[in-house]
């Protein structure tokens, strides 16, 4: 089985879950002897590239192509324009959308020299490239939805050009993978996609990269005996950091010795800092900035509770990382990850009182904290990329058979 995959940069280059998901899935697929022709929208450096390292040890004839376009995951049209000036020597497209088109056109040369059975494209920025590859090669196309325009818009209507490209991808695709039933339902209700075409493949996690926490006194508030409640995520509307703060305000009435730590940056950063001051809880809120790698791991391990208050979360890998580190989680019901976790507290993102009630319960009742951490950790060990890869492979085989018979 040979798959042409339009993927994304692997960590640590990326700034979000899409790169992590692409790496996890690609690695598991290669481990299961799927050959990948991996295309990513970035000129890859020859030295020290994690991709090359990943594929180097495998026997298959995996290939990597980096295409020089200025696309990064999670970019919105507005962010794109803002970020343009930071991109050195970038004189490519006039805007994000012409870049997406340019990406699509550039696959033509590439696939002329390649053979593959199935095309697999991750998220809307690569959909047009996938559609183009299908048009030229006639091979079946699978589009993989990690987030939709609606998720990015945080409750507002999505950019209509994004919506249009997504629609093209969904219509042209032979099969659609969504990372949750939550996202599947969104495709059905907001995009009019028929249910039979959509398959849910939940993300996984490599739990071996995390260690179950020891008692940690690394942070000053921990040394002072305070409890720590953690938010990790971009500070944008759809991640719900404002709900987190409003719940914190309620919690502090009952558990004043609590530090609420916010790790992340984004367009709502100043608004959130101001909100903390307005709520009168600035001394109990710590802004840790954007964290990854070892810093992020230390935050997970030190926290008494991780909270995911997302307004709309197609999946949400961070709660799995927290649990893999031995930290219990409280997650929004409006998230895909709530479909795979039983040993987690769950709440509607808008229900501030219930969110506060549950945070207080974790801080007050140690048996609850211990059980959520221990059982949740056990549960996360069963949520693997291997399982996700098996589902994808079943879909590939299915497609190949259908394609060969037609």
Partner 1 sequence: MLSLCLYFHVHQPYRIKRYRVFDVGTDHEYFNDGSETDLNNERVLRKVAMKSYIPANETLLYLLYNHPEFRFAFSFSGVFLSQLEKQFPDVLQSFQDLVKTGRVELLADTYHHSLAFFHSIPEFERQVRQHRWIVSRLFGQTPTVFRNTELSYNNSLAKWAEKNGYMGIMAEGWDPILGWRSPNFVYHPKDCKNIRLLLKNYRLSDDVAFRFGQRSWAGWPMTAPKYVQWINAHHGNGQTVNLFMDYETFGEHQWEDTGIFHFLAELPREFLKHPDNSFKTPTETICDYEPVGEIDVPQTLTWADTERDLSAWTGNNIQQAALREIYALEKDILATKDLRLIEDWRRLQTSDHFYYMCTKYFSDGDVHKYFNPYDTPYDAYIAFMNALYDIKLRVQNKLIHTNVPLSAQSPVPTI
Site for partner 1, rule CB under 8 A: 254, 342-343, 345-346, 353-354, 356-358, 360-361, 364-365, 367-368, 370-372, 374-375
On whether the CB atoms of residues 307 and 329 are closer than 8 A, the answer is yes
- In the complex, minimum distance from the CB of residue 211 to partner 1, in angstroms, rounded to a whole number: 22
Q: What are the phi and psi torsion angles at 223 (to 5°)?
A: -60, -30
Q: C-beta of 362: minimal distance to partner 1 in Å?
A: 9
Q: Which of 38, 37, 40 is nearest to 13 (CA)?
A: 40
Partners of 141 in beta bridges:
119
Our CB check for partner 1 shows the closer of 125 and 247 to be: 247
Q: How far is the CB of 224 from partner 1 (least distance, A)?
A: 19
d(CA 60, CA 116): 13
- What's the closest the beta carbon of residue 386 comes to partner 1, in angstroms? 19
Q: What CA–CA distance (Å, rounded) separates 218 from 224? A: 11
The phi, psi pair for 208, rounded to 5°, reads -65, -15
CB of 318 to partner 1, least distance (A): 20
Q: From residue 213, how far is each of 252, 296, 300, 327, 370 by CA, in Å?
A: 25, 13, 8, 8, 12
Strand partners, 4: 37, 119
- On the 0-12 / 13-18 / 19+ scale of CB atoms within 10 A, 110 is middle
Smaller CB separation from partner 1, 155 or 366: 366
> 114 by DSSP, 3-state: which?
coil
Least CB distance from residue 375 to partner 1, whole Å?
7
CB nearer to partner 1: give 134 or 358.
358
Structure tokens at 341: 């976790």
Nearer to partner 1, 21 or 360 (CB): 360
- Among left, alpha and beta (phi > 0; psi -120 to 50; other), residue 316 is left
- How far apart are CB 308 and partner 1 at their closest, in Å? 15
């Amino acid at each position: 089985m040979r798959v042409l995959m339009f993927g994304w940069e692997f960590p640590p280059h990326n700034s979000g879950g899409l790169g992590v998901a692409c790496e996890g899935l690609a690695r598991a697929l290669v481990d299961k002897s799927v050959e990948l022709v991996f295309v990513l929208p970035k000129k890859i450096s020859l030295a020290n590239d994690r991709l090359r390292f990943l594929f180097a040890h495998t026997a298959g004839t995996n290939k990597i192509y980096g295409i020089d376009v200025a696309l990064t995951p999670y970019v919105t049209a507005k962010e794109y324009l803002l970020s343009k000036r930071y991109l050195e020597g970038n004189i490519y497209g006039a805007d994000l959308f012409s870049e997406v088109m340019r990406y699509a056109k550039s696959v033509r040369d590439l696939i002329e020299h390649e053979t593959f059975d199935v095309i697999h494209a991750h998220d809307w920025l690569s959909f047009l490239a996938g559609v183009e590859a299908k048009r030229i090669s006639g091979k079946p196309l699978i589009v993989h939805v990690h987030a939709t325009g609606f998720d990015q818009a945080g409750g507002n209507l999505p950019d209509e050009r994004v919506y249009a490209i997504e629609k093209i991808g969904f219509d042209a695709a032979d099969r659609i993978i969504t990372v949750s039933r939550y996202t599947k339902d969104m495709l059905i209700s907001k995009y009019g996609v028929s249910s039979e075409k959509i398959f849910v493949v939940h993300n996984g996690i490599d739990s071996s990269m995390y260690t179950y926490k020891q008692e940690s006194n690394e942070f000053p508030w921990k040394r002072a005996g305070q409890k720590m409640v953690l938010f990790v995520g971009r500070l944008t509307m759809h991640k719900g950091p404002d709900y987190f703060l409003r719940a914190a305000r309620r919690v502090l009435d009952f558990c004043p010795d609590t530090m609420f730590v916010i790790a992340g940056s984004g367009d709502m950063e100043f608004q959130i800092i101001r909100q903390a001051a307005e709520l009168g809880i600035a001394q109990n809120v710590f802004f840790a900035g954007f964290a990854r790698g070892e810093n992020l791991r230390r935050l997970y391990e030190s926290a008494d509770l991780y909270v995911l208050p997302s307004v709309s979360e197609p999946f949400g890998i961070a709660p799995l990382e927290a649990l893999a580190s031995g930290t219990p989680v409280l997650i929004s019901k409006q998230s895909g990850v709530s479909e795979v976790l039983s040993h987690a507290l769950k709440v509607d993102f808008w229900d501030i009182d219930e969110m506060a009630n549950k945070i207080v319960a974790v801080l007050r009742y140690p048996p609850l904290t211990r059980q959520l951490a221990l059982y949740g950790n056990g549960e996360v060990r069963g949520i693997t990329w291997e399982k996700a890869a098996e589902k994808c492979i079943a879909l590939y085989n299915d497609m190949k058979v259908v394609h060969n018979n037609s």
